[in-house]
Amino acid sequence: MFGGMGNMNMNGMMKKVQKMQKQMQEMQEQLKQQTIEATAGGGVVKITMDGEKQVKGIVIDPAAVDPEDVEMLQDLLAAAFNEATKKVDEKMASEMGKLTSSMGLPPGMF
């Protein structure tokens, strides 16, 4: 008798897990299509990145191009890239948190 009840609970849990996996895949696909923009140097360097952390575009204000100070431009590009990567990670964590909380799971479980 108890074995049958355990199977019902296990089946219910498996269905929830499968539903959550499907929702996670859908969320990841949606995030891949989104773009994030980040700037550095007060906006003189802008990087556009998709949800897979692929750079889709870089815009550099000509005022940031100083042949005497290439190192500053390199630093601005690195800063913009790092900020874009951070924003993608934050977006993913936020969306994952929404998904897990909607299923009654504690934050940070995945």
Domains of the chain, by residue range, sit at 34-110
Per the prediction, the chain carries an average pLDDT of: 85
Q: Which residues pair with 48 in a beta bridge?
A: 37, 57
Q: How confident is the model at residue 13 (pLDDT cuts 50, 70, 90)?
A: confident
The predicted-structure confidence for 52-89, as pLDDT tens digits, reads as follows 999 999 999 999 999 999 999 999 999 999 999 999 99
Q: 37 burial class (0-12, 13-18, 19+ CB within 10 angstroms)?
A: middle
In eight-state DSSP terms, residue 38 is E
Q: Starting at the earlier edge strand, list the strands of the sheet with 45-50.
A: 35-40, 45-50, 55-60
22 vs 5: which has the higher pLDDT: 22
38 contacts 87 by C-beta, under 8 angstroms? yes
- pLDDT above 80 (res 47): yes
**Fold designation for 34-110:** Ybab; Chain: A; (3.30.1310)
Residue among 74, 68, 67, 69 at smallest CA distance from 45: 74
